[in-house]
A = this chain, B = another copy of it.
Amino acid sequence: MKNKNLYNYILTIADNSLILAQRLGELCGHGPNLETDIALTNISLDLLGQTRSYYQYAAKISGEGKTEDDIAFLRIEREYKNCLLVEQPNTHFGYVIGRQFLFDVYHLMLMEKLQNSPDETLAAIAKKGIKEVSYHKRFSSDWVKRLGDGTEESNTKMQEAIDDLWRCTDELFFMTDAENAMVKEGIGIDVSSFKGKYYKEVSEVLKEATLTIPENKYFTKGGKEGIHTEHMGYILADLQYMQRTYPNMTW
């Protein structure tokens, strides 16, 4: 493959959307009310749409006759490059919202930069994505505030989720080799450049939600380099089930 770095760079972004969409897909029909059920499905659909655009592009540049589905379904676990944050389980609604919020703030900042990439395809996907991700962020921040500044129980639960998920935030700004290479080529985004802005914005929302900003300085990482949590294998077992069981078919 000629553009190995670009290919990997695309997956680093796209796999987040795929795995988060998959996690949200598990919830469909099980939300706390119809309105949130619909909203979360909507977010899942947006993310899936983005995933497809990225993978179609990656498939094209791979030059190996790959399809979006080959990329989505036929890699081994170590080849998925999503961050650990998006694979965290739907422990309770606080976790769903916390995960979404901590990802959305990052995601929007990334899209805002990426829309100016000289790579026209990536820029176009990002441009379209900004509208969607802005909505996601509004939804998740609103719910962080509702749950944080709701009842005592909801405050405890929201705080628990934030405390727990916090250790996955640092990885968002870890630069993989593919990212560094694409930054060098002027195409990719130096995510570490908006790390400070990220924590500032996140902290403001948490403060408004009357939540405590975690002080934990220990973080986990590995996802972006393909070393995932023990949750990932089970996600993939379901995700890949059909393609693995019935290979080489049209659906």
Residues of A within 8 A of B (CB): 76, 233-234, 236-238, 240-241, 244-245
Determine the distance from Cα of A240 to Cα of B238 in the docked complex, in whole angstroms.
11
Pull 12 A–B residue pairs with CB atoms less than 8 Å apart, ordered by A.
Answer: A76-B245, A233-B241, A234-B238, A236-B241, A237-B237, A237-B238, A237-B241, A240-B244, A240-B245, A241-B244, A244-B244, A244-B245
Report the minimum CB–CB distance from A23 to chain B (whole Å): 15
Determine the distance from Cα of A41 to Cα of B244 in the docked complex, in whole angstroms.
29
Determine the distance from Cα of A236 to Cα of B244 in the docked complex, in whole angstroms.
12
Question: Which chain B residue lies CB-closest to A234?
Answer: B238
Q: Which 4 A-B pairs have the closest CB atoms?
A: A244-B244, A237-B237, A237-B241, A237-B238
Residues of chain B lying within 8 A (CB to CB) of residue A236: 241
Question: Which chain B residue lies CB-closest to A238?
Answer: B237
Determine the distance from Cα of A214 to Cα of B241 in the docked complex, in whole angstroms.
38
Question: Which chain B residue lies CB-closest to A77?
Answer: B245
Determine the distance from Cα of A154 to Cα of B248 in the docked complex, in whole angstroms.
50
Question: Which chain B residue lies CB-closest to A245?
Answer: B244
Determine the distance from Cα of A76 to Cα of B247 in the docked complex, in whole angstroms.
13
Q: A237-B238, A240-B244 are in contact. List 6 more A-B contacts (CB 8 A).
A: A76-B245, A233-B241, A234-B238, A240-B245, A244-B244, A244-B245
Report the minimum CB–CB distance from A243 to chain B (whole Å): 9
